[in-house]
Chains A and B, each alone.
Chain A
Amino acid sequence: METLIGLLVAAPLLGAGVLLTGGRRFDRTGHLLGTLFALLSFVFGMVLFVNMLGKNADDRALHSHLFTWVPVEGFQAQVGFQLDQLSMTFVLLITGVGTLIHIYSIGYMEHDERRRRFFGYLNLFLAAMLLLVLADNYLLLYAGWEGVGLASYLLIGFWQHKPSAATAAKKAFLVNRVGDMGLSIGIMLMFTTFGSFAFSNVLPRAAQAAGTQHATITGIGFMLLLAACGKSAQVPLQSWLGDAMEGPTPVSALIHAATMVTAGVYLIVRSGAIFNAAPDAQTAVVTVGAVTLLFGAIVGCAKDDIKKALAGSTMSQIGYMIMAAGLGPIGYVFAIMHLVTHGFFKAGLFLGAGSVMHGMNDEVDMRRYGGLRKFMPITFVTFGLGYLAIIGFPGLSGFFSKDKIIEAAYAKGGTEGWILGSAALLGAAITAFYMTRVMLMTFFGEKRWVPDAEGHEPHPHESPKSMTVPMIILAFGSVFAGGLFSINSSFVKWLEPVTGHSEGNSPVSTGTVTAATMVCLVIGVGIAWLMYGRRSVPAVAPRGSLVTRAARRDLLQDDFNHVVLVRGGEHLTRSLVYLDHSLVDGVVNGSAASVGGLSGRLRRLQNGYVRSYAVSMLGGTAVVVAATLLMRAV
């Protein structure tokens, strides 16, 4: 069984290697090969899952040590895998949703010349993400972490002939670097504090050392949070996610549902012991989560680009997860549960959006859609189910997972709990609003189609089977996953041995929370219907209020970055250059000049006349004789 864990990672890695180095001979079969390797990985995952189910709850973790990476005295970097319930959940999500996206991409990328390369990158993405979640130490996790960053860079910039795509890829990579820096510093801190990278070593000792090394552990917690912010697009490192929509739609689905953005949540849940020992870091985590969930939701409300609206939604939903993860043992399980259900419905939504774009000549502006439900029935139904799931319609996946998070936020207790719970509730209302808006603008109302730049009239049509089948499967997931997880609290029991769980002491009863959520849901949907359902949608966006305009510009995040970081950086650089020129160069040149001047004077001693050298020698000898005599006299 342990060998299978290695194969789990090796299969997509092999696929990436074959597809990326194999050259043109795989052009015809590359997409099938890539899908096959992803599917193979999923099958391995399923086998391991079934095997794991057959064991006792406390005895389910598998360990597989491959080799020692850096065998240096005092610095032992191991390559080993650890497959416990948490990793298993991620493996199934990554390989399952990943495989579906592979299948979808066969149809979506059919006309792209570089499809083989695309599938190679997808496989690389899967392999890196699997490495990340299967690593049994932080160093190997970091390798996977960087691999994910690389693969996302390659995929976001896949259409590199578009300058916007190239820029977006660069932006994503650079913003991620900031987070990666946090992770690497965190790992270094861990090593200096605990002398090891292994989860099995670091985490228990972090729990023990809570009292004695509080500051260090809090520092590690903040660094890990910074890393999570980068990968999971949380405030303040969220700016890359919207631009990442420049990539092909399956990439967006993959990044938002199964890989990449979930890595931050994984990191925080996996490092739960560290955060439990550092309450300040936990507070920071919940703050980041709460701010991001509102931030993303507001951005999602104002976007007319369907993919960017969904991107705002992702930011918001990941904010929920991060907030839940920051709540400690009462929230870990629900963070992961929401992550899985979100994986289903967000993948479904993105694939649906891709399907719509596929039928509409790659148009992304929702103001140019309208009334598509009759032309794309399957897309409409699957997208609609995803929509119901994400707004938390009773009985569907999102209902179970999001409610639990809101409940857990209240269970945090005190003023903090009230603020977090209310923020989450408000987020739920806004979610209902913007998702209803997307739904209404896309599938309802009158047609607002316009010919594209080359004058082709759009002929909306249903997508091919290879695209609709994954959407249908994901729709099933969106509908049933949450309920399945909640029957008999099965998901809580499943994850509890790894993450720990506590019920918390909620000041509000479950029924009240559910009722409040329902009210928020109805209000959100109602307002959206009033604004976009009853009235016709103008083809050109109205100017809108100050908030709307700010939200259209991603709540000025890029402007903020530009003013503070870019301008500030430029000024800093300029002043440093000035310092360098005046002070550093001044000292260097000044010392050089003084040495040169002194040498110029001393050079005159070196006049080439042997006799003056002889005078110096005799003078020196006289001094030595004098010194000798003096020493003897003393």
Chain B
Amino acid sequence: MNPANYLYLAALLFTIGAAGVLIRRNAIVVFMCVELMLNACNLAFVTFSRLHGNLDGQVIAFFTMVVAAAEVVVGLAIIVSIYRTRHSASVDDANLMKL
């Protein structure tokens, strides 16, 4: 088997995640889909690391995880505070930024 198959899988997962972001209205699920996209990227990085035979790709994936963790913390805090004031977790309800 060619390790490039991992890359195809990563592309597929990324696309599914992106579609989820576009389709789902629940902010939490949207966030999960973003996480899915990040994980797909990580898989690609790890595969690249294997293809090139050095560990830099893994380091990048590691940093991605750290950043994703930070992002999730802040993002979920935002969702919670929005839910508190608007009693809704729908991304469509937060649509005041328009003319």
The stretch among A110-118, A278-286, A600-608 that forms the contact with chain B is: A600-608
Give the nearest-CB partner of A603 in chain B. Answer: B99
Taking A618-B18, A618-B22 as contacts, is the C-beta distance between A611 and B99 under 8 angstroms?
A: no
A541 contacts chain B at the CB level, 8 A cutoff? no
Complex Cα gap A106–B97 (Å): 81
Complex Cα gap A562–B13 (Å): 86
Cβ contact within 8 Å between B21 and A608: no
**Contact residues of B between 1 and 42, Cβ < 8 Å to A:** 18, 21-23, 25
Residues of A within 8 A of B98 (CB): 606-608
Cβ contact within 8 Å between B22 and A609: no
Cβ contact within 8 Å between A611 and B25: yes
Cβ contact within 8 Å between B96 and A611: no
Residues of A within 8 A of B22 (CB): 611, 614-615, 618
A284 to chain B, nearest CB (A): 66
B90 to chain A, nearest CB (A): 10
Chain B interface main SS type: loop
**Contact residues of A between 592 and 625, Cβ < 8 Å to B:** 603, 606-611, 614-615, 618
Taking A618-B18, A618-B22 as contacts, is the C-beta distance between A610 and B99 under 8 angstroms?
A: no
Contact partner of A609 (CB less than 8 A), chosen from B23, B92, B99, is B92
Total chain B interface residues with beta-carbon distance under 8 A:
13
Cβ contact within 8 Å between A606 and B18: no
Chain A interface main SS type: helix
Complex Cα gap A481–B42 (Å): 111
B30 to chain A, nearest CB (A): 8
Cβ contact within 8 Å between B97 and A608: yes
Complex Cα gap A609–B30 (Å): 13
Residues of A within 8 A of B23 (CB): 611
Cβ contact within 8 Å between B91 and A608: no
Contact partner of B95 (CB less than 8 A), chosen from A603, A609, A614, A615, is A609
Residues of A within 8 A of B94 (CB): 610
Residues of A within 8 A of B92 (CB): 609-611
Total chain A interface residues with beta-carbon distance under 8 A:
10
Cβ contact within 8 Å between B91 and A610: yes
Complex Cα gap A332–B97 (Å): 82
Give the nearest-CB partner of B25 in chain A. Answer: A611
0/1 string, B56-99, CB within 8 A of A gives 1? 00000000000000000000000000000000000110111111
Complex Cα gap A611–B25 (Å): 8
Contact partner of B91 (CB less than 8 A), chosen from A603, A611, A618, is A611
0/1 string, A338-359, CB within 8 A of B gives 1? 0000000000000000000000
A601 to chain B, nearest CB (A): 12
Cβ contact within 8 Å between A608 and B96: yes
Complex Cα gap A618–B21 (Å): 10
Complex Cα gap A606–B92 (Å): 13
Residues of A within 8 A of B21 (CB): 611, 614
A454 to chain B, nearest CB (A): 77
- Residue of A606, A608, A614 contacting most chain B CB atoms (<10 Å): A608
Residues of B within 8 A of A603 (CB): 99
Complex Cα gap A149–B67 (Å): 79
Complex Cα gap A200–B95 (Å): 78
Complex Cα gap A611–B92 (Å): 8
Residues of A within 8 A of B25 (CB): 611
Cβ contact within 8 Å between B99 and A606: yes
Give the nearest-CB partner of A600 in chain B. Answer: B99
Cβ contact within 8 Å between A607 and B95: yes
Give the nearest-CB partner of B96 in chain A. Answer: A608
B46 to chain A, nearest CB (A): 21
Residues of A within 8 A of B96 (CB): 608
Residues of A within 8 A of B97 (CB): 608
A626 to chain B, nearest CB (A): 15
Complex Cα gap A618–B25 (Å): 17
Complex Cα gap A603–B98 (Å): 8
Complex Cα gap A603–B99 (Å): 7
Residues of A within 8 A of B18 (CB): 618
Give the nearest-CB partner of A610 in chain B. Answer: B91
Complex Cα gap A618–B23 (Å): 13
Complex Cα gap A609–B91 (Å): 7
Give the nearest-CB partner of B92 in chain A. Answer: A609
Complex Cα gap A614–B24 (Å): 12
Complex Cα gap A614–B31 (Å): 13
Complex Cα gap A607–B99 (Å): 7
Residues of B within 8 A of A611 (CB): 21-23, 25, 91-92
Residues of B within 8 A of A606 (CB): 98-99
Give the nearest-CB partner of A612 in chain B. Answer: B22
Complex Cα gap A334–B66 (Å): 102
Complex Cα gap A609–B23 (Å): 12
Complex Cα gap A53–B22 (Å): 103
Complex Cα gap A128–B18 (Å): 84
A149 to chain B, nearest CB (A): 58
Cβ contacts A to B, 11 pairs, < 8 Å: A606-B99, A607-B95, A608-B95, A608-B96, A608-B97, A610-B94, A611-B22, A611-B23, A614-B21, A614-B22, A615-B22
- A residues adjacent to B (C-beta < 8 A): 603, 606-611, 614-615, 618
Complex A-B, nearest 5 residue pairs according to Cβ-Cβ distance, in ascending order? A608-B98, A608-B95, A610-B91, A603-B99, A606-B98
Q: Please give 14 more A-B residue pairs, beta carbons under 8 A apart, in addition to A610-B92, A611-B25.
A: A606-B99, A607-B98, A608-B95, A608-B96, A608-B97, A608-B98, A609-B92, A609-B95, A611-B21, A611-B22, A611-B91, A611-B92, A614-B21, A615-B22
